[in-house]
Amino acid sequence: MKRRPTILDVAAQAGVSKSTVSLVLQGSPQVKPGTRAAVQTAMAEIGYVYNRAAANLRSASVGLVGLVINDLRNPFFTEFATTLQMTLASHGYATVIANADEDPALQAKLVASMIEHGVAALVISPVYGEGSETFDQLARSGLPVCQVLRKADERTELFPFASFDYAAGSVAATRHLIDQGARNIAFVGGLPGRAITRERKSGWREVLREAGLAEVALHGKSTRGFGLQAADQLIAEHPQVDAAICFNDLVALGLMAGFARAGRPVGQGFRVVGFDDIEEAAQSWPPLSSVSCDIAQFAQDTAARLLAWMVDQDRPAPELPSAVRLVARASSLGNET
């Protein structure tokens, strides 16, 4: 017979009752060491594998956390996802990662599937727009849900929101460019109307208005491809622009590639700052200045807050902005190596 062995088989093999086997499985201290050893030997002998579905059915508490990411292909989010998974793993929780691919319908399906699978909590970097039923469903489930990096639902008492203080980063980046001598600073990338775009733009706008400088903004998707295309547009339509703050590093790297292609490599009179400080920023040429969001640290903090919520019923603050830090590299500095 090919049937998977159960704890009853183990119990028979070890000459104890199924309850004792269950206690061993749970690492209870109240079984005698000798008995424990016998049970463990029996398990190894008959090749027993734990059936978590059965256990969950009875105990309801599952060491499973769901993670839904709007775009897992973006390295920034990949880093967040992998760090969160590893941090939770070190606390005995398994994480299921899913990619919503910026598709609200898929996101809804994934969330429903995770609830069905009985996750104990959910972390979501949501897709924008059309997501209200998803959050209504989450609200009904009563699960601990953390919104991270993107705020798609305003009910932050229900879905506490943690992200970075992008506005402050934007101010710092703009001041830095002005200090370096830039006078026509464009903002490139970010889809218009989104909260995160507004935030990353707000500091730039504020500083420019204070300084009485002109504003040029090119909006679009947050991809390398858009940056490439934006370079051409900037050169053709706004030749006076001498610096750019990009929505993220991917856009910035694309923009730099675009300027290089046009024969005006960044560093020679044109300055660029990105957002996120992904690993590649330090490795590109020229190295890219970026508003650094310590995403690994952020993922660890998120894990800690989530654990506090799940384990100690200690609900996180509704809004929590993490500090950012401007890392100045050659792409924005006056002198060029």
Partner DNA sequence: CATATATTTTGGATCGTTCCAATTCCAGTA
Partner DNA sequence: TACTGGAATTGGAACGATCCAAAATATATG
Residues that bind DNA (CB under 7 A): 3-4, 6-8, 16-20, 22-23, 25-26, 29-32, 34-35, 48, 50-51, 54-55, 57-59, 61
Taking CB under 8 A as the rule, which mask of x and - marks residues 137-176 in contact with a second copy? ---xxx----------------------------------
Count of residues engaged in binding a second copy, rule: CB under 8 A: 55
Amino acid at position 203, single letter:
G
Alpha-carbon gap, residue 9 to 53, rounded angstroms: 18
Strand partners, 273: 245, 289
25 binds, among a second copy, DNA, none (CB under 5 to 8 A by kind): DNA
Q: Which of 72, 182, 218, 252 binds a second copy (CB under 8 A)?
A: 72
**8 in contact with a second copy (CB under 8 A):** no
Side chain identity at 297, as an amino acid letter? Q
Structure token digits, residue 91: 């606390």
CB of 27 to DNA, least distance (A): 10
Residues 73 to 132: which contact a second copy by CB under 8 A?
Answer: 73, 75, 78-79, 81-82, 85-86, 89, 94-99, 101, 106, 109, 113, 115-118
Out of 5, 144, 254, 274, name the contact with a second copy by CB under 8 A. Answer: 254
Indicate which of a second copy, DNA, none lies near residue 16 (CB less than 5 to 8 Å, by partner kind).
DNA
Q: x/- binding map, residues 208-247, to a second copy, per CB under 8 A?
A: ----------------xx--x-------------------
Which value, to the nearest 10 degrees, does the dihedral of the CA atoms of residues 326, 328, 331, 335 take?
Answer: 150
**Residue closer to DNA, measured from CB, 61 or 90:** 61
The partner in contact with residue 97, picked from a second copy, DNA, none with C-beta cut-offs of 5 to 8 angstroms by kind, is a second copy
Nearest to DNA of 59, 337 (CB atom): 59
Rounded to 5 degrees, what are φ and ψ at 272?
Answer: -135, 140
Helix axes 166-179, 195-211, angle to 10 degrees: 40
Give the Cα separation of 246 and 308 in Å (integer): 36
User: Rounded to the nearest 10 degrees, how much is the dihedral formed by the CA atoms of 105, 109, 110, 116?
Assistant: 160
Q: CA 231 to CA 227: how far, in whole Å? A: 6
- DSSP letter assigned to residue 190: B
Q: Which of 226, 219, 212, 224 has the alpha carbon at shortest distance from 184?
A: 212
Q: Which is nearer to a second copy, 106 or 308 (CB)?
A: 106
Phi-psi map region of 181: left, alpha, beta (phi>0 left; psi -120 to 50 alpha): left
19 interacts with, out of a second copy, DNA, none, CB within 5 to 8 A per kind: DNA
CB of 184 to a second copy, least distance (A): 23
What is residue 256's three-state secondary structure? helix
SS3 for 49-117 is CCCHHHHHHHHCCCCEEEEEECCCCCHHHHHHHHHHHHHHHCCCCEEEEEECCCCHHHHHHHHHHHHHC
Residues 27-66 as x/- pattern, contact with a second copy by CB under 8 A: --------------------x-xxxxxx-xx----x-x--
Provide the minimum distance between the beta carbon of 15 and DNA in the complex, in angstroms, as a whole number: 7
Angle at 119 between CA 19 and CA 312, to 5 degrees: 80
Pick the closer one to a second copy by CB: 52 or 325: 52
Write out the residues near a second copy by the rule CB under 8 A: 2, 47, 49-54, 56-57, 62, 64, 72-73, 75, 78-79, 81-82, 85-86, 89, 94-99, 101, 106, 109, 113, 115-118, 140-142, 224-225, 228, 254, 256-258, 260-261, 279-280, 283-286, 337
